[in-house]
Structure formats: structure tokens, C-alpha cells
Amino acid sequence: MLNVVILAAGMGKRMQSSQPKVIQKIAGQSMLGRVINTARTLSPDQLLVVVGHGEQVIRDMFKDWPDVAFVSQWPQLGTGHAVLQAVQSISEPHDNNATMVLYGDVPLVQADTLQALLAASDNGLALLTETLEDPTGYGRIVRDDAGQVITIVEQKDADQSERLIKEVNTGMLVAPTDKLRGWLERLGCDNAQGEYYLTDIIKMAFADGVSINTIAPKASYETMGVNSRSQQAELERLYQRALAQKQMDGGVAIADPQRFDQRGELVCGQDVFIDVGCVFEGMVVLGDGVSIGAHCVLRDVTVGAGTQILPYSHLHQADIGNQAQIGPYARIRPGTRLDDGVHIGNFVEVKNSSIQANSKANHLAYIGDADIGQRVNIGAGTITCNYDGAQKHRTVIEDDVFIGSDTQLVAPVKVGKGATLGAGTTLTTDAPANKLTVSRTPQKTIENWQRPVKPPRKKS
């Protein structure tokens, strides 16, 4: 049996936020949500989050995560006190029962690292430690001559020689639950910070002859905590750089890996190109040979092979076919399906519409709640008037239609196959197939009309 305890009771004062620290995001997901999801990969029997400051906001945010239980810690008397609150609520701690301690503000620890930590514990204690060039601020791992860990000394309690130790405590550990509970109950707070230190269990474990093993994380970002906005930004960049690296290793051409942002899952085919400043959110799938221009935002989008998304386009919940061309400056909104070879040009907005193969709307149009056939040409300035102030209505445009510029289609309305609408038409009833329909006041010329002239200026 495995229990995971995630500490998240601290205030996070240095974030200067009205929100609790652990709900702030890294790569589009709350830090605590990330830690919980990573912990879940171990299939723990109990997953406990220790909360204090801002606890109601945190509890509300995770109320639909049924496998997560919350334990309140008031007041916050230290990491040892925090873990004790959780361990006291663990049902039936028995011999082979391990507890893993994680931190809500150390969001990027990876599943395989936790797996290795668990394996290293082997019914005893396992610590995730790291050797740092500058260990300032961290608890130091003190070993005896045989290399055996005997204790952890906090920075503030360390003497000169202990401060020279470069191996530090990341805080993450695994311990046998029943023993852990006993040690925590015996903790004192006679130290520089007057806190109940979780780290003080190490010397108790050593005294009890419990094995103490250590492992190190693979990536440095795995153990980095967030205490300030600048640390949040630093960790975000480090992680994004790693995500970009992963994409490049998979064959994606990224114009500048420093200017790449993936806030969800991004699945790319072969020979995908991503220009600078793009943001990928939710689930994005890019087919072979797709090119994403500079400064595009794609959220929950599928893009077919060979399609080009030109700069400054915004796509959300859309499904785009092969060899299509979108943008620059296009906005594709939820419920849109664009088939192969569709062209959507600058300042065209498409919402909840389907557009079949090889149709084009190249400039300045609003296409909402429309079903458009193949090879349709939508002129500049075309608007589907889909909303009457109370309800939305659909516009149907069949194959091979030509819609002249500056046309309004007042839905519900249908344009028959092969029809042409003259420029400037306001279509209020269905247009028959293969005919020209135009609504336009007849053009006239006023023969003797003269431009008004300005009256001569009076001299004063």
C-alpha cells in the first residue's frame, strides 16, 4: 500500500498574489494539479493534500477529483507537523505501508523519478537528494565516513563545515508509514526556526537502524520550487525549453526553442515547422508537413497534413483538413470543420461552421453557423447574419456558389448549388440554384447635380 502526502499549506507570500501559490500555473496547469497527476501514476491507495492558507479555494478547485482528500493544518508549525496531520488521518497504517511526501509548489517532479524513489525505499527510507553548486538555503545531507546518511541539517541550524556540504535535501521522500508516524509524534521544535522539521526524522530512522537510501532526479527542474513570480517564470522557461527539445528530438523544426509554449499535449507528424511565439493549448495534433506561422495560438485543434497556418491566427476547437491555408490574421472558433484545400484569409472569422473542400473565404468575412459546400467562393465583406437577437439560425451554401462582396445572408437561408449572389446583396429568402440573385436598388445618375460649395470666407 502506498500513501502520497502533498504539502500545500504554506502561504506563498512572495508570490504577491490573492490566490494560493499552488494553484498558480506552470505550462498551463496548476502546480498542485501537476503534482497530483504525477502522483496518480503510482496508483496510490490514498492521496492526501495538506492545506492551510487559501484552503477553501484549493478544495473548491479540486472538488471533482474524487481520489484526492484534503487535510487541514492550522497553524502551520513546520513540514514535520504538516506530514503528521496527514499521517494521523491515514486509515490502517500497517507494516508494509509506505508514505511518500511531495510538495505542491515543486510541480515538475517526473513519474519515473517517483517510481525510482519508491523502489529505493525498499521498506526503509528513501530521500530524493541533489548536489548543487550553490546549496544555500537547503537542508544538507550529512553522511558518515562510510557514506551512510545519518541526518539532515537545515541551513539555519548548520555549522560552518555542514554548510560546505553540497548534497541537499529536495524534501521529497518515502518512509514506512507506521514508523514515520512514531517519529513525527516524537519531533521537537528546538531549532533555529522553532518549527517541527520533517527532516529530523532522518536521525531517528538512523538510530532505529532503518535503511536510508538516496536517489537523484534526472532533470534539475524536477526539484525546483516556486516561491516568487520570477521563480515561476524561470521554471516555466526551463520546462518549455525541455518540451521544445522533446519536439525537436521527434523531428519538429522549431524556429526558436526559447519562444515556444506548449501548455498541454502537442502531437506532431513529420516535418512540422513552428515559427516563433506560438502557443499550443489543450490537445493539438499537427499532421505531416504542417507549418505554423509566427504568433499563432492553437487550442484543442487538429490540423491535417500539408496545411499552412499563417502568422497571427487564433484557432480554438477546430478540425482542419489537409493542404488548407489559414490566415494571416484568421480566427477559427469552436465547432468549425474545414475540409481539404480550404482557404481562410485575413480577418475572416469562422464559428460553428463546416466548409467543404476547396472553398475559399479570403478576406474580411464572418461565417457563423453555416454549412458551406465545395468550391464555394465567399467574397470580401460577406456576413452570415446568424443571430436575430434571440436565436441562432443556420446558413446553407451549396457547392460551386459564388458569393459577391459585401453580402449579408440573413439566416435561416439557403443558397442553391451553382448560384451567384451579386455584390451587396442582402439575402433574406433562399436563392435558387444556378441563377444570379441580387438585391440592390437600381443604380441611377443625377444629371444636373452639383456638389455643394463652401460659402466664401468673410473677412473680418
Could you say which DSSP state residue 198 is in?
Answer: G
Is 154 a residue that touches ligand UD1 (CB under 6 A)? yes
Shorter beta-carbon distance to ligand UD1: residue 68 or 332: 68
Shorter beta-carbon distance to ligand UD1: residue 154 or 400: 154
Q: Candidates 163-171, 265-273, 403-411, 435-443: pick the segment binding ligand UD1 (CB under 6 A).
A: 163-171
Q: Are 51 and 71 in contact (CB under 8 A)?
A: yes
Which listed residue (86, 142, 152, 202) binds ligand UD1 by CB under 6 A?
152
- Residues from 165 through 194 that contact ligand UD1 (CB under 6 A): 168-171
Is 76 a residue that touches ligand UD1 (CB under 6 A)? yes
Which listed residue (225, 311, 335, 422) binds ligand UD1 by CB under 6 A?
225
Is 138 a residue that touches ligand UD1 (CB under 6 A)? yes
- Residues from 368 through 407 that contact ligand UD1 (CB under 6 A): none
Is 325 a residue that touches ligand UD1 (CB under 6 A)? no
Alpha carbons 15 and 360: distance in angstroms, whole number: 48
| Residue spans of beta strands (DSSP E) within 211-359 | 212-215, 253-254, 260-268, 273-274, 278-286, 291-292, 297-303, 308-309, 314-320, 325-326, 331-332, 336-338, 343-351, 354-355
Shorter beta-carbon distance to ligand UD1: residue 35 or 348: 35
Shorter beta-carbon distance to ligand UD1: residue 76 or 353: 76
- 286: β partners: 268, 303
Assign 188 to helix, strand or coil.
Answer: coil
Q: Are 252 and 274 in contact (CB under 8 A)?
A: yes
**Nearest residue to 381 via CA among 353, 409, 401, 359:** 409
Whether 81 is a known active-site residue: answer no
Q: Which residues contact 398 (CB under 8 A, 6 or more apart)?
A: 373, 414, 415, 416, 417, 418, 419, 433
Work out how close the CB of 59 gets to ligand UD1 at its nearest, in angstroms, rounded to a whole number: 15
C-alpha cell at 395: 446558413
CA atoms within 13 A on the CB side of 225: 19
Could you say which DSSP state residue 312 is in?
Answer: S
Is 61 a residue that touches ligand UD1 (CB under 6 A)? no
- Residues from 32 through 51 that contact ligand UD1 (CB under 6 A): 50
- Residues from 1 through 30 that contact ligand UD1 (CB under 6 A): 7-10
Work out how close the CB of 24 gets to ligand UD1 at its nearest, in angstroms, rounded to a whole number: 12
Which one of 81, 295, 314, 363 is the catalytic residue? Answer: 363
Residues within the interface to ligand UD1 (CB under 6 A): 7-10, 50, 73, 76-79, 81-82, 103-105, 138-139, 152, 154, 168-171, 197-199, 225
Active site residue ranges: 363
